[in-house]
Amino acid sequence: MTTTLRPTGPERRGPDGLRSRDYEICVNGRRVGTIELSTDSRFGPAVGRIVDLRIEERDRRRGRGTVAALAAEEVLRGWGCRRIEVIVPAAATTALHLAVALGYTERNRNMVKKVPEQPPGPPEGSEARPMSESEFAAWLDSAKREYVQSWADRGVPEDQARAKAEADHAAMLPYGGRTPGAVLRILSHQGTDVGTLWVSLAEDLPDDYDGFVFDVRVAEKHRGHGHGRSLMLVAEHECRAAGADRLGLNVFAGNTPAIRLYESLGYETARRHLYKPLI
């Protein structure tokens, strides 16, 4: 049997080289599903994305999805893409198994929690204060460097990682520390600064989040003493104080201590982001 991708319409073009197209997945000319492909708006035209892949119920468990995903790679290679990315919802276990079997690697995941109505604050001896302008400038420089390194360590070319860091921080903090909805805090413990927090409570967050933890970090010499948990409790308190109750975050794969911390606080994986080089 022959599996092919048949375009359902013309290719769509957008700014900065963005392109996308929808296809029917056909076996011997018979439609068995659909797939949508695009280049990645975050990383540019050299990165492709499987936006959606669906196999009809009666044709599942026959390898149709596997062949369609491999055919998608060929299409994206023809577009000049050197990497392919997918987002897999937590409940889509079959899709996750397929991606892993095809050589995709998890880079990061989104987690979410419904914050209790009265979340506990940080323990005695710890307190959070707003960042000053000078503290914000120092934090931002450090945050960008660490963000670039985190993406570069996980397969993103350094120039793409640097461009993403600049674009993301500019978009989310257009007015610096005075950006509406930006909560920027420094945690001190017994008078010593031990960590920083950035939570966004902006109105234009994705629909599944009321607040989002964009950055939480503990100074290296103060790690292992529960300050990360304290920072997350501050985030939840700020979230509830603003009338929000669904708090999300991103964590990079391999950061096992952070994942365990978030899970212990009740955060659940919402979606996984995976990638694969196109050689």
Share of the chain above pLDDT 90, in %: 84
Report the predicted TM-score, pTM, of the whole model to 2 decimal places.
Answer: 0.89
Structure tokens at 121: 């604050």
Residue 231 belongs to what domain range?
113-271
Helix axes 256-264, 227-241, angle to 10 degrees: 50
Domain-located, residue 96: no
Would you call 40 helix, strand, or coil by DSSP? strand
Average pLDDT, rounded, for the chain: 93
Predicted local distance difference test score (pLDDT) of residue 96: 95
Domain with residue 211: its CATH number is 3.40.630.30
126 and 180 part of one domain: yes
| Whether 145 and 51 share a structural domain | no
Q: Is residue 271's pLDDT more than 70?
A: yes
For the chain, how many structural domains are there in total?
A: 2
Res. 105: pLDDT tops 90: yes
pLDDT value for 1: 67
Phi, psi of 48 (to 5 degrees): -105, 165
Q: By the 8 A CB rule, do 110 and 270 touch?
A: yes
| Same domain (yes/no): 56, 129 | no
Residue 272 buriedness (CB in 10 A; 0-12 / 13-18 / 19+):
buried
Among 76-85, 130-139, 151-160, 193-202, the range scoring the smallest mean pLDDT is 151-160
Spatial separation of the C-alpha atoms in residues 212 and 11, rounded to whole Å: 34
Which of residues 58, 81, 104 is at a domain's end? Answer: 81
Same domain, 41 and 170: no
Is 88 inside a domain boundary?
no
Are both 228 and 177 inside the same structural domain?
Answer: yes
Going from the C-alpha of 45 to that of each of 18, 80, 160, 252, 268, the distances in angstroms are: 6, 8, 11, 23, 32
| Same domain flag for 64 and 131 | no
Question: Is residue 32, in this structure, part of any structural domain at all?
Answer: yes
Query: Tokens 């009666």 map to which residue?
Result: 58
Both tokens assigned to 279: 């050689």
Tell me what pLDDT residue 78 has.
96
pLDDT band at 229 (very low <50, low <70, confident <90, very high): very high
| Contact in structure between 122 and 234 (CB atoms under 8 Å) | yes
Report the CATH number at residue 62. 3.40.630
CB 68 within 8 Å of CB 86: no
Q: How many CB atoms lie within 10 A of CB 132?
A: 12
Classify burial at 259, counting beta carbons within 10 Å of its beta carbon; exposed 0-12, middle 13-18, buried 19 or more.
middle
Q: Give per-residue pLDDT as tens, 168-178.
A: 999 999 999 99
Enter the DSSP assignment of 202.
Answer: -
Each residue's pLDDT tens digit, 135-166:
999 999 999 999 999 888 888 889 989 998 99
If asked whether residues 118 and 256 sit together in one domain, one would say: yes
Q: Does residue 91 belong to any structural domain of this protein?
A: no
Give the pLDDT of residue 208.
77
